[in-house]
Amino acid sequence: MHLKTCFFLPLLLSLSLTTQAQPSSDSTPRAQSSALDSALFYQLLLGELNARGDDPATGYALMLDGARKTNDPNLFRRAVHMALQVRSGETALLAAKAWSQAQPGSREANQYILQVLLGLNRIPETLEPLKRDLQLSAANEKQDTLWAIPTLFKRVSDHALASATVKKTLASYLQDHTLGPTAWAVVGRMALRAGDAPAALAAAINGIKLNPRSEHAALLALSLMEPEQATAEQLVQQHIPHARPEFRMAYIKALLNAKREADAKVQLQAIRQQTPDYPDTWLIEGALAMQEGHIEAARSQLQHYLELTERATKTASTDYQRGRTQALFSLAQLDEQQKDFKQADAWLLRVDNADDLLRAQIRRAGLMARQGQLEQALALIESQPDQTASDARLKRSAQVQLLKEHQQFKRARSLLQASLADHPDDPDMAYDLAMVHEKLGELDDMERLLRQLIAARPNDPQAYNALGYALADRHLRLPEAKALINQAVALAPNDAYISDSLAWVEFRLGNLETALQLLQAAYQHKPDVEIAAHLGEVLWSLKRPAEALQIWREAFKLNPDNENLNQTLKRLQVKL
């Protein structure tokens, strides 16, 4: 007991000091001027000992009694924490309310009431403490306090009730020119979380109508942007003349996700004119130029991004590390495509973000392997430290990929089998091994593993797709192959690679027009070399050689070393 008393003395001494010297303020009454007498000191000590022993209820009661006697916020806070530590929400709420009654101006006490009520899922009762929190917040904090409200209600069980409660709470703010747009944005976010998109759109309209300069209302509209929802984008565009570059960038990302590159470029140009040295515009323009095959423009823009961010990190706290890694990887890819492996390696050596170092070394290993240094590449990957289990899986996957790219399928199989013996429940490893069996022509082993994966993960489309495609590619059990791939389509209807597999089985079944429609849609969604190889072959079979050659040439620019593309061209005796 003596040791425990010594352990708690610093806490109790600090409480003694605070009860003697509470600063006076308009919002928090001054604590009683008398120091802790020996009886109260002993009471608080007993409270702590009981709380940490076998009688937390007595400990809580002693602490709350001490808080009421001294009016000390530290003791009220400790009583609340004691109750929360034993998961007693009701007693925590009692302590928080006692605190708030003793110190009506304490925002912290009110916030504890609000948080405990939310934890107890007593949503209607949050209305008054939520109003009180807004009243107690400083004038320059009210907008941020409003904007944070949806986060408070994130884990409640009834989002519709939460939405109605918040809207009722904010009723007095909805016509305020300064705070009204943010209040409407909060109402809209709550409605959207409750699944009421029309109400969310109406809130965005009201917010922008009050003040088109309001970024919060515009952010709500941006979150509602859909191809079939033109009104939301019209609201966003009303805000654009007043928008910060950060908002314009969010709009640009939405446009790019909708595959509206031309519109995105207009916004990028506007940011360039408004803020020429805003770094992210150069990064995105570089990525777009790279995607379109404008190599020198991409190189120039990405390098300028690196220059801007290098200067910015020296003068500001903005973190550009992930963007810099993206730019360095892209520049390395450009030089790798030009077979300037030395310069590509130099870019990768500049990656200094700790989270990206392993990926950079794996990319360097890929460059080494392309130059005929496979063993050194494998050794480089092996030498990298494993910070996490995810790192170990990434290293193994990279080594397997290099072995596969260099036709070392038996070594890849051995590596995977050894790894799978150590991690028998790793589905990704089992999938990789199945694909290696497929390359080795060991179809029974491939099918066994894939069917095990289907049984273990019936909602994962990849095993269905892989097995169906392997059968179709070999003209085997085509109806069964189609059924497997259709199952994958049902699970992932927007996956371009799975659509490619379905097209391929249709092609094998002789349904060339159906295959063409599927491949054209897949290629438009994702202009990938593998999809292009299949699309070109279907066009070739339909006696449309000019279109086939055009597709293959586009694919060859993307990746001239792609095995499937080159095998297709060789088999069909086509020269580009």
Distances (CA, A) of 203 to 153, 180, 184, 511: 18, 10, 5, 50
- Secondary structure in 3-state letters for 402-417: HHHHCCCHHHHHHHHH
- pLDDT band, very low/low/confident/very high, at 329 (cuts 50, 70, 90): very high
Determine whether 292 is exposed, middle or buried from the number of CB atoms within 10 Å of its CB (0-12, 13-18, 19+). Answer: exposed
Contact status, residue 291 vs residue 314, Cβ threshold 8 Å: no
The domain defined by 139-231 folds into 1.25.40
Tell me the DSSP string of 464-475.
HHHHHHHHHHTT
User: CA quadruple 144, 145, 146, 152: dihedral positive or negative?
Assistant: positive
Give the tens place of pLDDT for each residue, 148-161.
999 999 999 999 99
* 17 pLDDT more than 90: no
- For residue 54, the model assigns a pLDDT of 81
Tell me the DSSP string of 115-162.
HHHHHTT-GGGGHHHHHHHHHHS-GGGHHHHHHTHHHHTTT-S-HHHH
User: Shortest CA distance to 152 belongs to which of 183, 184, 119?
Assistant: 119
- For residue 3, the model assigns a pLDDT of 37
- pLDDT band, very low/low/confident/very high, at 315 (cuts 50, 70, 90): low
Q: For the chain, where do the domains classified as CATH 1.25.40.10 start and end?
A: 37-120
**How far does CA 413 lie from the centroid of its chain?**
33
* 35 pLDDT more than 50: no
User: CA quadruple 271, 275, 280, 284: dihedral positive or negative?
Assistant: positive
Q: Please tell me the number of Cα atoms within 13 Å of 481 on its side-chain side.
A: 23
Cα-Cα-Cα-Cα dihedral of 354, 356, 362, 364, to 10°? -90
Contact status, residue 222 vs residue 187, Cβ threshold 8 Å: no
Tell me the DSSP string of 336-369.
HHTT-HHHHHHHHHT---GGGHHHHHHHHHHHHH
* 9 pLDDT more than 70: no
- pLDDT band, very low/low/confident/very high, at 542 (cuts 50, 70, 90): very high
- For residue 47, the model assigns a pLDDT of 77
Distance CA 333, CA 359 (A): 13
> Is the CATH number 3.40.1030.10 carried by domain 37-120?
no
Contact status, residue 331 vs residue 290, Cβ threshold 8 Å: no
The pTM of this model reads: 0.77
Average pLDDT, the chain: 91
Residues in the chain: 576
SS3 for 33?
coil
Residues 6+ apart with CB under 8 A from 99: 67, 73, 76, 77, 79, 80, 106, 109, 112
Contact status, residue 197 vs residue 226, Cβ threshold 8 Å: no
Greater pLDDT, 352 or 229: 352
Distance CA 429, CA 419 (A): 8
Greater pLDDT, 539 or 2: 539
Tokens read off for 436: 């290696």
